[in-house]
Amino acid sequence: MTTKQSGPPPIQPPPLVLNPVSTISLESPSLTAEQRYRGTLFLCLAVGLVSMTMTIQMALNANFLREDIGVNGLQMGQIEAARESCGILAFFILALLAGIAEPLIASAVLLFVAAGLGAYAFVPQSYLFVLGLSMIWSQGLHIWMPLPNSIALGLAEPGKTGRKLGILATSGAIGAFVGLGVAMFMEHMGVHMRKTYLIAGAAAVLAAGACLGIPRNTKARRPRLALRRGTALYFVLCFLEGWRKQVFLAFSAFLLVSVYEMPVMTMLTLWAIAQVIITFCGPLVGRVIDRVGERKVLYTYYASMLVVFIGYAFAPWIWPDESVRRMALYVLFVIDGSFFILGMAMTTFVNRVVPPEERTATLSAGVAMNHVAAVSMPFIGGILWQYGSMWTFLIGAVAAVASLVAVGFVPRREVASSQ
């Protein structure tokens, strides 16, 4: 027999407030399985095409600027710094675009990437013209950069964010591999590199079209950025990652080319090997993050980078024989170029410590912090290079050590989940 209770109804608990300025909003309907699948398919297609575009740019950049346009070393540094400064501006542009569906923003900015890079095919031999076009495509690219991860997190099923990001990374690796193949084929056929930039621009246009196929019925409220322990730690890691990335992009390849006279085809081959590794390991890394958490993965990442930078710095002493040293540096370059996939653990960490409406703002602010270091590092590394390449790579080692210290503050998986 059931006893009827008397008295007022029980008081309902208040809604969960994560921080003083925002609460989780569930105003938008949840995605169906079909929408998640379709969104992931089109997002992966867009990411692959953008990766193809930017890999072609990366493969041809140095030769195009030096051999075709005729820029000097100082102008190269100015172009690189100007391009990286777009990452800082991208954060503020995304704030102005708040409230617009992210797939629409992605589609629009990729048209700027297509226009800027495609116009390389027709640009006169003028440093200023190239600088202007570089700013156009770079601004579009840097606005795009935080969007795929944010969209992927919104499409991911609960508890499977790492796997979703792993699939995304694999799509990017496949696109990069295709881009390298296109660059190598065009080089082998003797086609002028300007025409290859038209292919890169066309791929960016297709990527813009693919973004229109991503569901837009889940629109977050205006993103808010609250500086808390988790986001502050994420920004520190992004700054150090930008520091490390610039050492690799600006000086690792330069060491191999300037000191060991690596030909273009060998450089493209090393990039291709790195992309093959990323292609096969992307989903595996995502599953490992879901299983063991970000802390262990990031420890592995930055410990590996520390070994790589020490190898770069002390290569003449570690491997006295030049042929052995050359092969060892090739291996270090491939490790340096492929292990960055472990950095996706930083994105899953953000997903667990910030509410959904702050996710895009946090990721874009992380990109800005990354580029604060990326703007300054070419100048610092270039100055140190005058005293020997060892000092430039030791600065990279310092960034790796600082990253290891910062990772020690990342909560373990069970602690972060309870927060």
pLDDT of 65 higher than 50:
yes
d(CA 179, CA 401): 33
Q: What is the mean pLDDT of residues 69-98?
A: 75
pLDDT of 417 higher than 60:
no
d(CA 380, CA 372): 13
Contact present, 381 and 392 (Cβ < 8 Å): yes
pLDDT digits (tens, 9 = 90+) for 262-311: 777 787 788 888 878 877 777 788 788 878 888 888 899 999 999 999 99
Beta bridge partners of 17: 23
Closest CA to 255 of 395, 81, 389, 63: 389
d(CA 228, CA 402): 20
Q: What is the mean pLDDT of residues 364-392?
A: 78
The pLDDT of residue 311: 93
Give the residue, 36 or 229, on which the prediction is more confident: 36
C-alpha torsion 95→228→286→221, nearest 10: -40
pLDDT of 203 higher than 90:
yes
Residue identified by tokens 């063991």 is 292
The pLDDT of residue 413: 64
Considering 8-12, 82-86, 331-335, 344-348, the range whose residues carry the highest mean pLDDT is 331-335
Q: Residue 116: which residues within 8 A CB-CB, separation 6 or more?
A: 133, 134, 135, 136, 137, 138, 140
pLDDT of 103 higher than 50:
yes
The pLDDT of residue 106: 92
* All domains in the chain, ordered by first residue: 34-215+226-412 (1.20.1250.20)
- This model's pTM is above 0.85: no
Phi, psi of 218 (to 5 degrees): -115, 95
d(CA 204, CA 50): 6
Q: Residue 312: which residues within 8 A CB-CB, separation 6 or more?
A: 252, 255, 329, 332, 389, 393, 396
Collect contacts of 3-11 with beta carbons under 8 A, ≥24 apart: none
Report the 3 state secondary structure along the chain: CCCCCCCCCCCCCCCCEEECCEECCCCCCCCCHHHHHHHHHHHHHHHHHHHHHHHHHHHHHHHHHHHHHCCCHHHHHHHHHHHHHHHHHHHHHHHHCCCCCHHHHHHHHHHHHHHHHHHHHCCCCCHHHHHHHHHHHHHHHHHHCHHHHHHHHHHCCCCCHHHHHHHHHHHHHHHHHHHHHHHHHHHHCCCCHHHHHHHHHHHHHHHHHHHCCCCCCCCCCCCCCCCCHHHHHHHHHHHHHHHHHHHHHHHHHHHHHHCCCCCHHHHHHHHHHHHHHHHHHHHHHHHHHHHHCHHHHHHHHHHHHHHHHHHHHCHHHHCCCHHHHHHHHHHHHHHHHHHHHHHHHHHHHHHHHCCHHHHHHHHHHHHHHHHHHHHHHHHHHHHHHCCCHHHHHHHHHHHHHHHHHHHCCCCCHHHHHHC
**Confidence tier at 137 by pLDDT (50, 70, 90):** very high
Mean pLDDT of the chain: 78
Q: What is the mean pLDDT of residues 44-61?
A: 90
**Confidence tier at 414 by pLDDT (50, 70, 90):** low
